[in-house]
Amino acid sequence: MISDPSTLEANKQTVLAFYEAGLRQKNYAAAAKLLGRRYVQHNPLIADGHEGFEAFLAYLNEKFPDLRAEIKHVFAEGDFVIAHVHGVREPGQRGSAIIDIFKLEDGKIVEHWDVIQPIPEESANPNGMF
């Protein structure tokens, strides 16, 4: 298990760069450089591999060109990086709270999981989701 602080920080920076290239700029070529040879996708709506990720970005570009993903927190432990994200598909929407989990090998992203929770209009507490 990775415990070297410089490697953990490098893994976080890889995930942040992946978000910037892939989800903010929707630039598959730039994002793909941060993926390993294999890319296992655990979101049931997205196909495995580089081709699945490329198709997902094309879908986002077509359906949600103004999508915004703001990373609120990022954590690294071992081979994993976890991002706590506020995702908004269209301006004016409340959006969703997202937890993205990435597994890295040799500095490249090789697996992805996510959990997505819509932000409700009203909350039973004053704490917020971020």
Q: What is the pLDDT of residues 3-62, one digit of tens each?
A: 899 999 999 999 999 999 999 999 999 999 999 999 999 999 999 999 999 999 999 999
Residue written as token pair 């390993």: 36
Cβ contacts of 20 within 8 Å, gap of 6 or more: none
- Strands (DSSP E) along 1-130, which ranges? 35-41, 68-77, 80-88, 96-105, 108-118
Residue 128 maps to a domain = no
Residue 30 maps to a domain = yes
Residue 60 maps to a domain = yes
Residue span of the structural domain in which 100 resides = 5-118
Residue 130 maps to a domain = no
The number of distinct structural domains making up the chain is: 1
pLDDT at 112 (0 to 100): 98
Q: Is the pLDDT of residue 1 over 80?
A: no
Residue 82 maps to a domain = yes
Q: What is the pTM of this model?
A: 0.94
Across the chain, what does the average pLDDT equal?
A: 96
Residue 13 maps to a domain = yes
Backbone φ and ψ of 98, nearest 5°:
-125, 135
What is the percent of the chain where pLDDT is above 90? 95
Cβ atoms 112, 50 nearer than 8 A: no
Dihedral angle computed from the Cα positions of residues 51, 44, 95 and 13, in that order, rounded to the nearest 10 degrees: -50
Residue 52 maps to a domain = yes
CATH assignment at residue 106: 3.10.450.50
Gap between the Cα atoms of 28 and 71, Å rounded: 19
Q: Is the pLDDT of residue 2 over 90?
A: no
Instruction: Look at the chain and count its residues.
Output: 130
